[in-house]
Amino acid sequence: MYRGRLERDLSLWVGKGLLGQEAASALLAEYDSRPASFSLGRVLMALAAVLLAAAILLVVASNWEAIPRLVRVGGILALIWVVHIAAARMLARGSTAAAGGLLVIGAMSFGGAISLVGQMYHLSGDEQTVMYLWFAIATVSAILFRSGAVTIVAGFLSWASFAVYLQNNDTHWIGFDPWMAPMMAAITIALVRYTGAERARHLAYLLLIGWLAWLYTLYEEIAVALAFAIGGMAAFVLTALPLPRIASLVRSAGAAPAFYSFLVAAIGFLLLHIEIEDGWRLVVLGVATLAASVLAIALHGRDNGAVRYLAYTTFATEMLYLASVTVGSILGTSSLFLFSGLVVALVAWIVIRLERRFSANAQSANGQGERA
Amino acid sequence: MSSFIARLQSGRGYLLSAIIVAGLQTLILGTIIQSRASILSNGAEVLLKTAPVDPRDFLRGDYVVLNYDISSVPVQTVSGGIPAEPGERVLWVRLKKQADGFWTVIESSFHQLSPQPETVILRSRPFYSGGLAAGDSIRVEYGIERYYVPEGEGKPIEEARNDGNVAISVRVSPDGSPQIRSLLVDGKPVYDEPLY
């Protein structure tokens, strides 16, 4: 975790005399006082909430035939009301962790309630509408209570909704429903920005990438793969442009937008490699892939570790692949390994040079900062 | 709007948020229950014969999978043509009572059918139609394909269904949505559905 790394670094700096012991303790204390920082109690509370919610769903899933229907409906409605009002009380008292747990139970039990009602009254079909309603309720709850925990629930519900769509429609594109996945991802990102549940951002991006992969299975054409590569790179470059509006949006979103847009581009390049196997088009594709990874390192390599490693991997894989298809046919197997070794060594040399430059840049930037 | 939400996130405001969220959930659940109950009390009554089910789908947890004679709609009953383009479609089906008391499809259409005396119109759930290459019949669902039973009671009903002895009495709303009213084995009601 970040706290452990921070503590190690701080004690290192104190040992080197760069930082006073008091300042180090103050920095650590500041980190601990942040509301979103890791605390065992918080995590256990969230786990307890998930377990309780699962228990509720399981009880609902098995039939309680002995209890009259209206009593069962009344019971689950009472649960929904009690949980939400208790959460409001907790929030008013300032115990956000317990409130978050209760709200998670509240959002989950709505799904349980709908499936209970469906069972009791023999309603079938229309699971998709149920998923939309469930996601909508979680969204409303996340907004009104400004709850990060419910935002995470909404993120998972957006996946579940897409899964239900794929299952019900034999993975055909039908009507307007396929657009719901990217819309839900956008809503989740908006919720993340509003509630500060940074981790849930990945749920939205991963849903988008899954959705794009599904698009490719529908239309397995070069044009789609090309669109991924070009669109991904365009979005990636956009995250690096010094336009003030974009820059502030991107900075507040952390490493995710650049990484995921480059990931989409990398997937596009991979799909293109599956489609294009030889000839001048492969040469163009190979050069484009290498150029894209170099561009990625140049634009975001210094500050964004995730982008840097993905770009290194893309670059190295591409070099090895090109070497194996071009030189591999001329050389024997043993010389191929020799050649691969040389290629990897070359890549390593480039990477080391780049890393040095990044740290040199960082130092000179700091130096300028000090002079100014 | 934003100042309203800001006011919600403090002291008493949280209580209002709780009432809104819990109230919305109650409203949705209430609407589901009430719309079914109103179909059961006001809808037109129709008796449907069940058909055996593909063995793959036999046991599905705690519910019996119901398949009806009207679940496969013969293509020759379709009036107004079959859309050539593949896509999501809804089929309207006109049912008429036969001499044996069961209702059967006399007309179907991809456009809404107009009411006629002594017939009941049923609307299918949206389904994917492959276009003109539909074959002899169109498979549709109506949202009455599951009957939840107490644990362990599903087997006898499934056996009776596969012997062709299960009938379902259904009530249909004016807009074509059906709800199950009772399940009959050999013409005798086994389960009667209360309104609530």
Task: Point out the residue among B36, B62, B128 whose CB comes nearest to the CB of A170.
Answer: B128
- A89 has pLDDT over 70: yes
pLDDT per position as a tens digit, A279-321? 788 888 888 898 898 888 888 877 788 888 899 889 888 888 8
> Looking at chain A, which residue has its C-alpha nearest residue B64?
A122
Task: Point out the residue among B12, B32, B145 whose CB comes nearest to the CB of A117.
Answer: B32
| Interface check A87 vs B, CB under 8 A | yes
| Interface check A143 vs B, CB under 8 A | yes
pLDDT per position as a tens digit, A100-112? 889 998 998 898 8
Q: What is the mean pLDDT of chain A?
A: 83
- What is the radius of gyration, based on Cα positions, of chain A? 26
Q: b/e map of B125-152 (b: 16 or more CB within 10 Å)?
A: bbbebeeeeeeeebebbbbbbbbbbeee
Q: What is the pLDDT of residue A66?
A: 62
How many Cα atoms within 13 Å fall on the side-chain side of residue A221? 5
Q: What is the pLDDT of residue A222?
A: 87
Tokens of A289: 């892939």
Tell me, what's the ipTM? Answer: 0.84
Q: What is the pLDDT of residue A203?
A: 93
Q: What is the pLDDT of residue A38?
A: 56
Q: What is the pLDDT of residue A132?
A: 94
Q: What is the pLDDT of residue B60?
A: 47
Contacts of A196 in chain B (CB under 8 A): none
In the structure, what pLDDT confidence band is assigned to residue A371 with cuts at 50, 70 and 90?
very low
> Looking at chain A, which residue has its C-alpha nearest residue B18?
A84
Contact A141 B143 (CB under 8 A): no
Q: Within a 10 A sphere around the Cβ of B98, how many other Cβ atoms?
A: 12
Spatial contact of A202 and A165, defined as CB atoms under 8 Å apart: no
User: pTM for the whole thing?
Assistant: 0.79
pLDDT (average), residues A22-32: 85
3-state secondary structure (DSSP) of residue B145: coil
pLDDT (average), residues B142-146: 89
Q: What is the pLDDT of residue A49?
A: 81
> Looking at chain B, which residue has its C-alpha nearest residue A144?
B17
pLDDT per position as a tens digit, A59-71? 665 655 666 788 8
Residue found under tokens 């947890």? B61
Q: What is the pLDDT of residue A372?
A: 41
Tokens of A364: 């000179």
> Looking at chain A, which residue has its C-alpha nearest residue B127?
A169
| Interface check B132 vs A, CB under 8 A | no
Contacts of A72 in chain B (CB under 8 A): none
Task: Point out the residue among A84, A117, A146 whose CB comes nearest to the CB of B21.
Answer: A84
| Interface check A146 vs B, CB under 8 A | yes
pLDDT per position as a tens digit, B121-131? 999 988 888 77
